[in-house]
Structure formats: C-alpha cells, structure tokens
Amino acid sequence: MWNSGGMKREPGFDDDGRPVLITAAAPAYEEQHRARVRKYLTIMSFRIPALILAAVAYGIWHNGLISLAIIAVSLPLPWMAVLIANDRPPRRAEEPRRYNDAPHRTQLFPRPQHRAIESGPTPTAQPHAAGRADTGSRRAP
C-alpha cells in the first residue's frame, strides 16, 4: 500500500508511520449486536410483569384506573426498546465526520457571478462567406 506522500505504508501503521492501536478499534459487530439484544430484552422484560402487576392491582383494589395506568405506562416499552437497541455506539471524538457542515445555500433566484453579455460595442452581422464574391484582395488593373 502507498500513502498520499508516495511512500510505501506498512500494514498496522497509519499514514504518518505511527502504529495503529488496536485498543482504539471499534468493538466487533457481534459484540455490539449482543449488547443491543441485551438492552432490548432488558427493556422488554418489564412488559410482562407490568401486565401481571395491572391484573394484581385490579384484584386488590378493584380500581380499573390504576390497572389502566400501569398498562398505559407499559405500552411504549416495545417502541422504546427498538429505538434504544438500534442505536449505534456513541461517536468517538477522533472518529472522522462525514458531513461537511460548511453552509451550502442555493438561492431561490440565482444571480450570475459574471455578466453573460459584455456591455460594449456589439459586433455587426457580416454576410455569410458562401454567399459573397471574393472582392477583398484583388486590385483593379
């Protein structure tokens, strides 16, 4: 491999010749997947006990509002579990940013930077060369 300076780059070294630290590498995909599955299962494990707790609360107090409140709290749990489990690990400070945040504005009515037509003498129309006789270089005898 060759770096931008035209020098051969050794595997395991960055462009400046410094060794790449393996501790700076991102966790393996399988490890990230296991962590996300664990988060999902942890959040979803609160849903069944919440439903059981709603049934027990109704059995104890015979108040449907308390049971409905417990069920209402457990309703967004699947949505939250999916969002949290699909979240990627936080970005490190040294990780390159892909978005160029320089402002790129497109005007609604763009104006040309330079004038398309110069203001000066306009060239006169000349007759087409095929339709005229050659009269310019001959002298009369």
pLDDT tens-digit series, residues 56-80: 999 999 999 999 999 999 999 999 9
Tally DSSP H helices, then E strands, for the chain.
4, 0
- Count of residues in the chain: 141
Selected residue with higher pLDDT from 25 and 39: 39
Domains of the chain, by residue range, sit at 26-90
pTM: 0.49
